[in-house]
Amino acid sequence: MFMTLMASSIILAISVLVMMIASIISKKSILDREKNSPFECGFDPKSSSRIPFSLQFFLIAIIFLIFDVEIALILPIIVIFNLSNLMVWTLTSIIFIMILLIGLFHEWNQGALNWSY
C-alpha cells in the first residue's frame, strides 16, 4: 500500500513539474497582432482565414471512430472462443452486439447518418 502511494505521488510530482516547465517555456514573449494572424505575405488578410466547418462531417467522423473502436473490441471475442465457456461467450457476444445495434439504430433515428447539405 505504501509503495503504491509513494509511486503515485512521485508520478504526480513529475507530471506537475513537466507541465509547469512546458507552460513556462511555451509562453510567447511578444504578443503582436501580425504574428498571431495567419501568414499572408506580411499584409493584412483580405478575408477570414477560417473556412466553414461541416458539422455533419464531424459527426460522421466521430461515429466512424466509435465503430472503429468497437471493431477492435469485437476481434478478441473471436480469439477467446476456444478458451471460454460457450454459453458465457454467446451471451456476452449477443449483449455486446445488441448494444452496438441499439446505438446504431439510435443514431439513424436521430438523423446523424443522413448527409445533408
Using CA atoms, how far apart are residues 34 and 48, in angstroms rounded to an integer? 14
Query: pLDDT tens across 68-105, in order?
Result: 888 888 888 888 888 888 898 899 889 988 998 898 88
Whether residue 74 lies inside any domain: the answer is yes
Write down the mean pLDDT value for the chain: 80
Whether residue 6 lies inside any domain: the answer is no
Whether residue 24 lies inside any domain: the answer is no
The pLDDT assigned to 16 comes to 95
Whether residue 106 lies inside any domain: the answer is yes
What residue type is 67 in one-letter code? F
The pLDDT assigned to 12 comes to 95
Q: Which residue segment(s) compose the domain that 65 sits in?
A: 54-110
Whose cell is 466553414? That residue is: 52
Residue 8: pLDDT band (50, 70, 90) is very high
Whether residue 49 lies inside any domain: the answer is no
Instruction: Tally the domains of the chain.
Output: 1
CA 60 to chain CA mean position, Å = 13
Strand runs (DSSP E) across the chain, as ranges? Answer: none
Whose cell is 461515429? That residue is: 63
